[in-house]
A and B are shown apart, each in its own frame.
Chain A
Amino acid sequence: MTYEQKNLRVVGTRPIRHDGPDKVTGRANYASDFTLPGMLWGRVLRSPHAHAKVLSINTDKARALPGVKAVITGADLPLPPPGVTQAGESAINTQHLAKNLLARDKVLYDGHPVAAVAAISEAVAREALGLIEIEYEVLPHVIDVDEAMKADAPLLHDDLFTEGVEPRPETPSNIAKRIVVSKGDIEKGFAEADIVIERTYTTKAVHQGYIEPQGCVANYAEDGQAMVWCSSQGQFVIRDLCITMLGMEASSLKVIPAEIGGGFGGKTTVYLEPLALMLSKASGRPVKMTMSRGEVLRATGPHSGSSMTARIGAMKDGTITSAEVVIKFQAGAFPGSPVGAAVMFCSAPYDIPNLSITGYDVVVNIAKVHAYRAPGAPNGAFAFETVLDELAHELKMDPIDFRAKNSAVEGSKSPYGPTYGPLGGIECLSSAKNHPHYKANLGPNQGRGVASGFWINIGGQSAATVVVNRDGTISLVEGCPDIGGSRASLAMMCAEVLGIAAEKVRPSIVDTTAIAFNDVTGGSRVTFATGMAVVQATEDAVRQMRERAAKMWDIEVDQVGWRDGAAQEMNGNRSLTISQIAQKAAKTGGQIMGHASINAAGAGPSLTTHLCDLEVDRETGKITILRYTAFQDAGKAVHPSYVEGQMQGGVVQGIGWALNEEYIHDENGRLENAGFLDYRMPVASDLPMIDAVIIEVPNPNHPFGVRGVGEAPIVPPLAAIANAIYDATGVRMRDLPFSPPKVLAALEAAEKTKANG
């Protein structure tokens, strides 16, 4: 489908979201809000060690405890056939997933599940966990990515040989993969440069931080039919992973999507669901499982910590001639970090003739990492955009002008290969340059930082059904969980095509037996791809209604048009509303239902530029964000309030990542800050208002010009804040997070250097 400029009456407005009233009254049901009669409570026993051999597991005492109905260990979950399942952002190795669900001979991180129990109450289940006897032989562990790459590092897997290196290494290592993106000749490019800057950066593992912990209820019946009620970013992926793990048929497992309390990429895989199904099967009873916050932080997908070196060269006139970047990502206990995206996208806002970007995927003794909003891109942008800032300073160029001079535009070659279509990068930069924020005065110890970001956005598989009701209302059926207002944006696109009010369309997100497979809510794809399916399904319904009107008028269908929610006779003035057509549906051929099932291509990338003002307290090292403005190309903002919301939310996650959030491990590799008190996410009093400026450069491949918006906003903040700290203090900080003790230490070190120098 292609973009067409038209007068819009619903798209671009701000109606109240359809699921809003349920969510402000407490009616909306999330994963843990569901109960079944006779339900048991399941809990997981987790490894207290970062790396250890499991010598023996004895569950006899737990099984003997009154009220315990089932106990399972890794021995009860046979390894599935080797293979790869697509689970949203990345391919999941099925055998690794099984070993992550329940450890077998080895535990690989603090929090790795080793057993699970189901009992008549949560208290009995907890007591039973304490009766399971496990003998461990503790092994040396490694968490830091640079340490893990050393030849003498403790080895997590003795069958892991680096992919992407020719010839294949003969000895196993923790380096799972090497990825290279390159073009031109970097050394020739550096030779042309008048100035070359090379810097090294580190970031710590961070968590998605969704407020709703993982939870589910499973019910496995005697005939092998089962259901799971859970919150996820995609009920179909949960189903497919569960059936792969348990050897079930797809039609035997119904996954019912609960409301989801945040995901940010972290809820595109399974942790509890297969265990709950196994416990339900073993006990013959429904089983509910919910994680504690500590379990969420220890054992669900953090995002990779990283170590990066960026070297960029530019000529005196500001032309970037060459860039070389090396990016190393923690993968967690099993291979599969999002380092590929960091490699492909760190330089993507720019048109640079000579590039070499290398990524390493490295296993370490923390939970297997999982997607986190624009997975990998913020790390890469942190390194790249701060070196750009240093270059702009050295060249005495305005940082926005410097970026604009090197911006990729339509027709530029992307670093990952394909030629770009229309892009909003220049528009974001010029909008930022001309914004009052960029001209506002700053006080002492205050600074301003600029950074840009890129996210590719994706399409993928989506289905939608448009059911026309007798009273003229529409039931819109779709299969992508609504994390941030997608029900509203989808219903609005349906209403726009029909020419009716958004409130007349009622969207429902249905279970895995009620619609065809849908990819996950991820990759900023729902408003784009599911939106396209909704538009096509609605057009299908309109076509059918025009046919019915033609039959009712006894004229040819090509004599019937569609406008304002009604069929219109083209050579006359008769019209028939949706309800008038629907009431006669039984006589004109049966009920009317539009349908589309598509694999959407042509998602348009998002470009974004951020401005950040902050103040550094020289006595405490505390950083206060004073003002923040994000400029982003949304293609078309279907519901501008929720586009702004995505931008504001992404910015604030980025601020938390930059200023406070980090995984802290003790010398035994145990996570020390496994709670919200110590894993410090931003709260309301930490922040100013976040200004969101929406820019609309239509995506030519969507009927309303939609690009994705959800991920790009988390890409620039790390660098924008680092650059602002420099502007405020003259100190370059390159190791995240910029927490008060580290800021203070950096300021003191700079003072010392100055005094000695």
Chain B
Amino acid sequence: MAKSHVSTTVNGDPVEFLCDTAETMLDVLRNTMGLTGTKEGCGTGDCGACSIIVDGRLVCGCLMLAVEATGKQVTTIEGIGAPDRLHPVQQAFLEDAALQCGFCTPGFIVAAKALLDRNPDPSETEIRYWLAGNLCRCTGYDKIVRAVQHAAAEMKGQPA
């Protein structure tokens, strides 16, 4: 089966790759591009460990075909924060101990960033419903929700 040629943008960089039609964006990110920060927890869109942002929308990398990336802007966990400064969500996760094993963490950070990009002042309920597509089995979500609240306050220039 001939592979498809895809031109896209990943974390701001122009990228080209060849893929089978059946390959998911998650497979290409992890196995073709070596961007292993995006995790696979279920492969069926239920756990959110593979959360990425595509043209401003939060999506599960495992539910998106790689060919759909054509012409799109894709942001992964590797594209969040800068070498000299973590994103406020990342910093808040560290300070608030919002991770234990850390496997779901990239997905949560991508999802939380997508939330704060569109709603800089979410209520606790809005945070909980927005993050309902991300499974964490370690933390019970308490410290994750607090970290997102903390990051929102930081981003508005207020002390948490």
Q: Let me know if B41 and A684 touch, CB within 8 A.
A: no
Interface residues of A, CB < 8 Å — how many? Answer: 61
Residue pairs across A and B with CB atoms within 8 Å: the count is 187
Q: Let me know if A676 and B140 touch, CB within 8 A.
A: no
Q: Let me know if B90 and A25 touch, CB within 8 A.
A: yes
Residue of B nearest to A123 (CB): B20
Residue of B nearest to A643 (CB): B97
Q: Which residues of A contact B104 (CB under 8 A)?
A: 211, 261
Q: Let me know if A211 and B94 touch, CB within 8 A.
A: no
Q: Let me know if A25 and B77 touch, CB within 8 A.
A: yes
CA distance A484 to B103 in the complex (A): 11
Residue of A nearest to B133 (CB): A683
A212-230 interface (Cβ within 8 A of B)? 212-213
Shortest CB distance A343–B (Å): 27
Q: Let me know if A29 and B36 touch, CB within 8 A.
A: yes
Q: Which of B39, B104, B133 gathers most chain A CB within 10 Å?
A: B39
A21 at the interface (CB under 8 A from B): yes
Q: Let me know if A30 and B135 touch, CB within 8 A.
A: no
Q: Which residues of B contact A21 (CB under 8 A)?
A: 86, 94
Q: Which residues of A contact B95 (CB under 8 A)?
A: 16
Q: Which residues of B contact A22 (CB under 8 A)?
A: 102
Q: Let me know if A645 and B97 touch, CB within 8 A.
A: yes
Given A211-B47, A211-B103, A676-B46: A24 and B128 within 8 A (CB)? Answer: no
Q: Let me know if A684 and B78 touch, CB within 8 A.
A: no
Given A24-B90, A685-B129: A484 and B100 within 8 A (CB)? Answer: yes
Shortest CB distance A405–B (Å): 31
Residue of A nearest to B145 (CB): A684
Shortest CB distance A671–B (Å): 15
Interface size class of B (residues with CB under 8 A): 35 or more
- Give the dominant DSSP class at A's interface: loop
Q: Pick the contact of A25 from B20, B86, B133, B144 — CB < 8 Å?
A: B86
Q: Let me know if B102 and A28 touch, CB within 8 A.
A: yes
Given A261-B102, A484-B100, A684-B131: A651 and B46 within 8 A (CB)? Answer: no
Q: Let me know if B39 and A212 touch, CB within 8 A.
A: yes
Shortest CB distance A713–B (Å): 9
Given A261-B102, A293-B43, A683-B135: A25 and B36 within 8 A (CB)? Answer: no
A109 at the interface (CB under 8 A from B): no
Q: Let me know if A485 and B43 touch, CB within 8 A.
A: no
CA distance A645 to B98 in the complex (A): 8
Q: Let me know if B102 and A264 touch, CB within 8 A.
A: no
Q: Pick the contact of A641 from B46, B86, B96 — CB < 8 Å?
A: B96
CA distance A686 to B142 in the complex (A): 12
Q: Let me know if A211 and B135 touch, CB within 8 A.
A: yes
Q: Let me know if B43 and A292 touch, CB within 8 A.
A: yes
Shortest CB distance B91–A (Å): 8
Shortest CB distance B139–A (Å): 5
CA distance A648 to B36 in the complex (A): 28
Given A212-B103, A641-B143, A645-B138: A24 and B94 within 8 A (CB)? Answer: yes
A14 at the interface (CB under 8 A from B): yes
Q: Let me know if A14 and B97 touch, CB within 8 A.
A: yes
CA distance A19 to B76 in the complex (A): 20
A716 at the interface (CB under 8 A from B): no
Shortest CB distance B33–A (Å): 12
Q: Let me know if B93 and A684 touch, CB within 8 A.
A: no
Q: Let me know if B140 and A261 touch, CB within 8 A.
A: no
B99 at the interface (CB under 8 A from A): yes
B48-106 interface (Cβ within 8 A of A)? 49, 76-78, 80-81, 86, 90, 93-97, 99-106
CA distance A546 to B81 in the complex (A): 44
A172 at the interface (CB under 8 A from B): no
Q: Pick the contact of A209 from B93, B99, B100, B137 — CB < 8 Å?
A: B137
Shortest CB distance A380–B (Å): 23
B37 at the interface (CB under 8 A from A): yes
Q: Pick the contact of A681 from B99, B135, B142 — CB < 8 Å?
A: B135
Q: Let me know if A16 and B94 touch, CB within 8 A.
A: yes
Q: List 17 A-B contacts (CB under 8 A).
A: A24-B106, A212-B103, A260-B101, A261-B41, A261-B102, A262-B138, A293-B43, A293-B47, A485-B100, A639-B97, A644-B97, A645-B100, A649-B138, A649-B140, A652-B140, A684-B144, A685-B129
Query: Apart from A649-B139, A689-B142, what are 13 other A-B pairs with CB-CB below 8 Å?
Result: A21-B86, A21-B94, A27-B37, A211-B104, A261-B41, A484-B138, A485-B100, A648-B142, A649-B140, A652-B140, A684-B131, A684-B136, A685-B129
